Amino acid sequence: MDCRFTIKLYPWARAYLHATQGKGGIVGLSKTNERLKIFDYSDVVYHDEVILVVLKGKEFPFDKIEDLRGKKLGIGLGGSFGEAFEAAKKSGLFYAVKDYGPVARLHKLLMGGIDAAFISPGRIAFSQTLKKDEQLLKARERFAILPKPFRQDPNFLGFSKDLKMQPFLKTFNQVLKKAHESGEIGKIIDQYTRLD
């Protein structure tokens, strides 16, 4: 199967909307019961470490989702971190404060609008976010990362079921398995997440 791709970078909410409308696939998609009704998924492409960033002096013990009770948590518009997260959000365990990206999220944290910011993928994304904004970079010593990540989030390639991409995904999964085994996936991820 000879495949050619056009790759476009969009803010998450727009990318997700386009994917639900069948305008293409989406990479970095986590699974929820709701999304399983909409999308056909590849095998795991990579694992996305989701960290919680707080202000120094305002750290709190975090081991399980119940430890977020009553907290205001910054998250990207359209973001989801699995069924447990969605159930806790729906039950009102915590308050999800949505934004258009990690720069805005960390500014909101600095101003006291949220108690913690979800940042992914991990410390690399946190460092890159600081570098995008001079004010955040100057304030870097005011931030702390909680020791335990919120989760290791498996991410997938997904296509709207309307596109009937199962034959492609079968081939994609075969190539993906070989790429994981050879270390090529790790090299690609390193290329896009290095700090230079």
Cα separation of 72 and 108, whole Å? 11
26 in Cβ contact with 15 (< 8 Å): yes
**Inside any domain, residue 107:** yes
Do 145 and 52 share a structural domain?
yes
**Same-domain status, 95 and 28:** no
68 in the same domain as 23: no
Same domain (yes/no): 36, 99 = no
Handedness of CA 74, 79, 84, 87 (dihedral sign): positive
Domain holding 146: CATH number? 3.40.190.10
Residue 145 forms part of a structural domain? yes
Task: Give CA–CA dist 118/106, Å, rounded.
Answer: 9
Same domain? For 30 and 58 the reply is no
Q: Looking at the domain assignment, is residue 25 inside a domain? A: yes
Residue 1 inside a domain? The answer is: no
For 14-24, what is each residue's pLDDT tens digit? Answer: 999 999 999 99
Residue 1 has pLDDT above 80, yes or no: no
Phi, psi of 28, deg, nearest 5: 90, 20
pLDDT digits (tens, 9 = 90+) for 66-99: 999 999 999 988 777 778 888 999 999 999 999 9
Are 120 and 160 within one domain? no
Within a domain: 179: yes
Q: Report pLDDT for 195.
A: 43
CB 45 within 8 A of CB 156: yes
Q: Do 150 and 126 meet the contact criterion of CB atoms below 8 Å apart?
A: no
- What average pLDDT does the structure give for the chain? 90
Give pTM, 2 decimals.
Answer: 0.66
63, part of any domain: yes
Q: Based on the fold, state whether residues 161 and 142 are members of the same structural domain.
A: no
What pLDDT sits at residue 187? 80
User: Does residue 167 lie in a domain region?
Assistant: yes
Residue 183 domain boundaries: 12-46+152-193
Domain termination residue (choose one: 150, 165, 180):
150
73 plus 157 within the same structural domain: no
**Quick one: tokens of 159?**
């296509």
Instruction: Count structural domains, the chain.
Output: 2
Task: Say yes or no: 146 and 156 in one domain.
Answer: no
Is the model more confident about 9 or about 156? Answer: 156
Q: What is the pLDDT of residues 21-73, one digit of tens each?
A: 999 999 989 888 899 999 999 999 988 788 999 999 999 999 999 999 999 99
Confidence of residue 192 (pLDDT cuts 50, 70, 90): low
* Residues pairing with 53 in the sheet: 117, 145
Question: What amino acid occupies position 65?
Answer: I
Residue 190 DSSP SS3:
helix
Question: Do 82 and 20 share a structural domain?
Answer: no
Q: What is the pLDDT of residue 196?
A: 44
User: Prior bond to 121 cis, omega within 30?
Assistant: yes
Q: Which two tokens stand for residue 5?
A: 């791709």
Tell me: do 130 and 162 sit in the same domain: no
Beta bridge partners of 72: 95
- 137 in the same domain as 58: yes
